[in-house]
Structure 1
Amino acid sequence: MINFLSKLKAVKTQLKCWNREEFGNIFTVVKEADQRLSFLEEKLQQYEEPVLESDPLHCQIHDARTSLSRLERMEETFWKQKAWNNWLEEGNRNTGFFHVLAIERVRRAVITAIQLHSGRIVESQEDIKIEVARYFHRLFSAGEVDQGEDLLSSIPSLVSAEDNTNLLAKPTIQEVHHAVLSIPRDGAAGPDGFFAAFFVGCWDIVGQDLLNATIFLVIACRLRKLLPSLISQEQGAFVQGRAISESIALSQELLRELNRKVKGGNIAIKLDMEKAYDRVD
């Protein structure tokens, strides 16, 4: 894994050099292309007589427009990748929007202060690092847990021995390829900054290296086949085809009826599921 990340880092360095040599500053290039097109169009307007379509000036204007359009698409792609925006469809183009979104994403990623359980506000970056490390160390530290063998024996086993064997089997290159293809092309697979389109397009080169680096994707694909038999029909979140907003709407409807007079009265209970989902034990 470390070797693969080192390779990606080296590739990124070379790609940055290639980008500077091949395209330069995309914003400067777009501005120059726009100025050239304006110059040619002004030159055309200075002709006193109509200019034939076959005139070299018309060809130059056509080439300038084509070049500007191509560069503007490159600029749009630049901001789209910066913003990691997956939902804006073709046709709703707005370079300024992507620019603002990318800046906002960077701003939101900065933690300026955190509040501790005691209520104290911590603003120093060094203190924030210490408290964050302390929180996750406590969160991912397993304590004494009562296994509850009697209780576990009453829970039916839904994963067969064959399913378990398949889950534990060593990933194959075909499974990794399928997992990579399942990632949105313009969505990054991780913090390395490489989009899935890179791994798909360069599969023949990076496929073998990805075999050990994307095990979590393979496991997710394997588990996806078992989920229908493991997840209750009553669960409304984290299931494909179901939305947590439906549960919120249902809860609101029930709360509206809470004051209705019935025999025995009504009561609503909110359960804190932090211990069930937020700790390794």
Structure 2
Amino acid sequence: MIINELENHIEHLDNKLQARFNEEDNQGLMESKLDLDIWLNRENTRLSHLAKKRWLKDGDNNSKFFHAYLNAKNQKWINVMNLADGTSLSTPFDIHQAAVDFFKNISGQNNTRSLPNLDDLISPVISDADNFNLCISPSLEDIKIALFSIPIDSSPGPDGFGSSFFRACWDLVHGDQV
């Protein structure tokens, strides 16, 4: 097959070039790689046409995977649910509601308990004044100082813009709300 011959020729030329470089072998290597690429594209096109031809002939009857997937998907549906008290549920809404209620009961969301007050056991680490300072919004000057402390060549944010963009456009973007 032509593709195997080209691959062997490329490997041979590559080994020759690693042992001793010359322009003629390098040119031959480039031409062989180009020829291989052309032949691989032709082979892919040929195989694609064969697959389309087979599908046109056999249609969905040929797709065992497709039918296996549909059968497995249809078997995953819960059509009837029997509860512990003997009640039988058959509508999707009733089944859904019964499942939600069951898991709420397990997680204890329906149970109300009074928990003991453990505030005496925890000593405050942050004073009320520090807590107030942490909760206030930063000023425009604080934001500018933080922005200008980021290196210009740092990675861009999720929006694709780096700190250099925001520095250069500070006069335009400083008033924008997040």
- TM-score range (shorter-chain normalised) is 0.3 to 0.5
TM-score, normalised to structure 2, is: 0.32
TM-score, normalised to structure 1, is: 0.21
Question: Which gives a bigger RCO, structure 1 or 2 (Cα 8 Å, sep 6+)?
Answer: 1
If each structure's helix is expressed as a fraction of its own residues, which one has the higher value? 2
